[in-house]
Amino acid sequence: MNTVPSQMRAVLLEQYQEDVADAIEGLKVVERPVPSLRRGQVLVRIEASPCNPSDLLLLKGKYGVLKMLPCVPGWEGAGTVVASGGGWLAGWLKGKPVACGGQDDRDGTWAEFFVADAKTCIPLKRGLSVEQASSMIVNPLTAMGLLDVARRAGHRAAVHTAGASQLGRMLLAMAAESNFPVIHVVRRYAQAELLRSLGAEHVLNSSDESFADQFQSKCSAVNATAAFEAVAGDMSGTVINLMPPGSTVYVYGALSEEPCGNIDPIELILRDKMVTGFYLGKWLSSRGLLGILRATAQVQRMLIDGRIATEVQRVLLLDEVVDGLKQYVNNMTHGKVLLKPQAR
């Protein structure tokens, strides 16, 4: 695209709704002015943008970072830089394909154009599709960050409570490559079979009557003293109560949309267990620029080689966003839905 239009099409969120179905129904596709740029910013022509669980939390007004309404949702995406607001990095990025995102109080990536800070854009390597690049920030880097934090804390194995999720499958591949045992917890038999077909050695179904005994036995067998907890609610307490002494539970999600509960204080007081949080933005900041570049380069290599991938169950035009998000909410195990704002 040689010129940037003055108007763009975008998905608009006008009101937070506690019920996700109501929130999705309230989304509209509208014409909005293409945003102006400040120095150090770039305009990205978005070619693909996924829906993550964190996007659904935003629609419900339950995410930790909210936006002033009305706003365009979408935490991440990929496309081509078509304009620069000034500065050497922004100018250098012009014309380049990038992955981008951000959690500032401004319009997100579910639109034809997105304003990104140049310093947060990730130039894409040759051979990486825009579809895979659009989801390369939230899930792959979170999986990498969780493993890094656990290793640095001296843990030798971990439990993951969202084993069949997109992030869970990436964590499976990354952990296997680094010889870091992970116990993958799922809720349904079909999810357990899926993970085993992908090479998972340690899979537990939380619906089994003997789950507690199996959990403790597995933790003892592989010396799992870390847990990556994405569910919250009673699951947080179940996990920490069953973990060995000296264990740490890293809460990084809230799929149940409930507070962490069911925690036996004796486990914290007498058995030296801890519950803490993991936030991707904080982990990336702790890595510094060089560390971020290394992490994103590793993720891109794994995506290009096919060692990890984001499964996509449906590609959406903007006008299909309501129907497509309903499909995603009702069957998240089958993969993400991917918006293609430029397609007509």
Q: How do residues 104-160 score in pLDDT, each as one tens digit?
A: 888 999 999 999 999 999 999 999 999 999 999 999 999 999 999 999 999 999 999
Q: Which domains does the chain have, with CATH numbers?
A: 7-135+310-339 (3.90.180.10), 138-280 (3.40.50.720)
pLDDT (average), residues 219-247: 97
257 pLDDT band, cuts 50/70/90, is: confident
Beta-sheet pairing, 158-160 with 182-186: parallel
In this structure, are residues 85 and 39 in contact, taking their beta carbons and an 8 Å threshold? yes
pLDDT (average), residues 217-230: 98
pLDDT (average), residues 53-67: 91
Name 298's bridge partners.
Answer: none
Q: What is the pLDDT of residue 65?
A: 83
Answer whether residue 103 shows pLDDT above 80: yes
pLDDT (average), residues 181-210: 96
In this structure, are residues 257 and 236 in contact, taking their beta carbons and an 8 Å threshold? no
Answer whether residue 181 shows pLDDT above 60: yes
Answer whether residue 102 shows pLDDT above 90: no
Secondary structure class of 329 (helix, strand, coil): helix
Q: How do residues 266-287 score in pLDDT, each as one tens digit?
A: 999 999 999 999 999 999 999 9
pLDDT (average), residues 50-79: 94
Secondary structure class of 28 (helix, strand, coil): strand
Q: How far apart are CA 254 and CA 331, in angstroms?
A: 17
Q: What are the strands of the beta sheet with 274-277, ordered from one edge? A: 202-205, 182-186, 158-160, 226-229, 248-251, 274-277
Answer whether residue 1 shows pLDDT above 50: no
Q: How far apart are CA 124 and CA 101, in angstroms?
A: 14
DSSP 259-285: ------HHHHHTS--EEEE--HHHHHH
Answer whether residue 20 shows pLDDT above 90: yes
- Span of 2-6, 279-283, 319-323 with lowest mean pLDDT: 2-6
Answer whether residue 2 shows pLDDT above 70: no
Q: What is the pLDDT of residue 234?
A: 95
